[in-house]
Structure 1
C-alpha cells in the first residue's frame, strides 16, 4: 500500500508529486529477511483503498483492520530462498542481471 500526494511548494506554480510506501512489522518469511515489510493490499480491497473520499474518524479503524488482515494473509504466502551476496552491493551490482535472484545453495554459490 502506498500514498500518492500532489502539492505545490511555497507559491511554486509547478505541482510536485510524492509517493510513500507504507510499511509495518515484518511477518512470516518477510520478517525473516527484515524487521519491516510493505503493507499489502489485494485486488479484493483495491476499491476500498483507492476510494478518493476522505475517511471519517469512525472509518479509520476499519481500514487499518483491513490492511492488517490483508498484509498478514499475503505475508503468510511469501517464501524466501538464499540468493547471491552480490545483491547487497548496490554500487557494483548489475540490476539487469537475472542471476541475482536465482536460488543458491546455502554455504556456497556466492558470485
Structure 2
C-alpha cells in the first residue's frame, strides 16, 4: 500500500503544486486522486473516517453536504473544526494543516 507521503511526493513532482489552493483545484478535477489519498496508508496521522486514533481528520457529515477538518487527540476534538462545502478543499486543508505537505520535498523540473 502506498503511503500518503509518497503519494503527495508524486503529486508535487508531477503537477508542481506548491499551495493549498492548487492542490484543492487538482483534487476537484480528479476523483481517482481523491480516492487514492483517502485510502493511502495513514501513518502520517491523516484520516478520512471517524476513529479513536490521534491525528488530523477530514470527515463528511452525516447529512452529506459538508466536510469537517479537525485535529483529534485521545478521541476528543482538540482544535477547532473547519467546515467546507467542497470535499477537495477539505482534503487539501487537512493535508496542509497536518504538516505532511511540508514534509514532502518539491522535485525540481528536469
TM-score range, shorter chain: under 0.3
Greater RCO (Cα-Cα under 8 Å, separation 6 or more):
2
Return the index of the structure with the highest Cα Rg.
Answer: 1
TM-score normalised per structure 2: 0.24
